[in-house]
Amino acid sequence: MTRPGEASLHARLSKGPILVAPGAYDALSARLIEQAGFPAVYASGAGASYSLLGAPDLGLLSFAEMLDQVRRIAQAVSIPVIADGDTGYGNALNVQRTVREFESAGADAVQLEDQGFPKRCGHLSEKTLIPLPEMVGKLRAAREARSSPDFLLIARTDALLLEGLDSALERLARYAEAGADILFLEAPPDTETFRKARARLPGTLMANMVEGGRTPLLSARELAELGFQLVIFPGAAARTAAFAVGQMLSTLREAGTTREALGRMLMFDGLNAVVGLPQALATGRRFQGEPAPPA
């Protein structure tokens, strides 16, 4: 269920300042994001592909696999969850099911994009686009399918690389008319492109910061000054985790022990604190030996 009232993503975006949503690749990383004090978490499709399949972001993750991942992330945190819905996993009927299921799983927003199949990470080349009328229809179907207006629809276009800025901005303007709450121009190559997007597009704009991607890494403050209200850092946690684990394994292989890596990891009690072991044990103790409630 979408979080109500002041806790909703819609309310947080309305208040400002710019909302920063790091990407989670699983429930543990989502917990760490919340505990670090961020106001929202982005359930990354790429991150799920990395963690569940050990595979690149090439549309290999199924709808059911991503839905389960979104549900696990939403259950692990109390902050709003933005779900990566890729292309909606098919036509308008598939999009409607995606919206209903993601909303039911606890997401507060779903991102839908206008790529053709097979889809690719937005910072890769060799992408394809579906026709503009088809994407407009998918967004209208998504709007009709949601049960709460607080469940937000994010429309992403990958047209910038393929068709140029004018086409990309025209698509996004049409997506707003079709009911998208947040507009997402993928892979701007420079700050000037962000500025032009803000000047020509209505409503709430989202930015995507990909380390090593096509877009310069701007800070939340810089993006706010450009007029953006939401920024995701979808792969930072996964890239950091992969690097850190790789370093630890190299140390273990060479030294035959993890002693030299202890300063770069959480200890037994530290990790158990992150996942809530003390609270879980306390809850279990409260119910031990108590009679079953009356039928």
Could you read off the pLDDT of 30-64 as tens digits, one per residue? 999 999 999 999 999 999 999 999 999 998 999 99
Per-residue pLDDT, averaged over 286-295, amounts to 70
- Does any domain span residue 252? no
Residues 78 and 85 sit within 8 Å (Cβ to Cβ)? no
Q: Is 256 exposed, middle or buried (0-12, 13-18, 19+ CB in 10 A)?
A: exposed
Classify residue 37 by its DSSP letter.
T
Distance of CA 69 to the CA centre of its chain: 11
Q: Do 83 and 186 belong together in one domain?
A: yes
pTM, to two decimals: 0.93
Residue 157 pLDDT class (50, 70, 90 cuts): very high
Q: How far apart are CA 99 and CA 111, in angstroms?
A: 10
pLDDT at residue 292 tops 60: no
Using the CB atoms, write b or e for 93-123: b if 16+ within 10 Å. eebbbbbebbbebbbbbbbbbbbeeebbbbb
Per-residue pLDDT, averaged over 132-152, amounts to 97
Distance of CA 66 to the CA centre of its chain: 11
Report the DSSP beta bridge partners of residue 42: 23, 82
Phi/psi of residue 221, nearest 5 degrees = -65, -45
pLDDT of residue 142: 98
Q: Do 209 and 270 belong together in one domain?
A: no
- Does any domain span residue 136? yes
Q: Do 160 and 28 belong together in one domain?
A: yes
- Does any domain span residue 295? no
pLDDT of residue 290: 58
Q: Do 196 and 143 belong together in one domain?
A: yes
Distant-in-sequence, close-in-space partners of 280: CB < 8 Å, separation ≥ 6: none
Q: How far is CA 189 from CA 39, 207, 216, 268, in A?
A: 27, 12, 7, 43
Q: Do 234 and 265 belong together in one domain?
A: no
Q: Do 47 and 178 belong together in one domain?
A: yes
- Does any domain span residue 294? no
- Does any domain span residue 235? yes
Q: How far apart are CA 24 and CA 8, in angstroms?
A: 19
Q: How many domains does the chain have?
A: 2
Weakest-pLDDT range from 3-12, 106-115, 253-262: 3-12
57: domain range?
Answer: 5-241
Residue 121 pLDDT class (50, 70, 90 cuts): confident
Strands 204-208 and 230-233: parallel
- Residue 283 C-beta-side C-alpha neighbours within 13 Å: 5
Q: Do 128 and 176 belong together in one domain?
A: yes
pLDDT at residue 5 tops 90: no
CATH code where residue 126 lies: 3.20.20.60
- Does any domain span residue 253? no
Q: Do 210 and 274 belong together in one domain?
A: no
- Does any domain span residue 100? yes
Q: Percentage of residues in the chain with pLDDT exceeding 70?
A: 96
pLDDT at residue 291 tops 90: no
Q: Do 140 and 232 belong together in one domain?
A: yes
- Does any domain span residue 78? yes
Q: Do 280 and 154 belong together in one domain?
A: no
**Higher-scoring residue by pLDDT: 75, 125:** 75
pLDDT of residue 125: 77
Q: Do 228 and 282 belong together in one domain?
A: no
Q: Do 262 and 187 belong together in one domain?
A: no
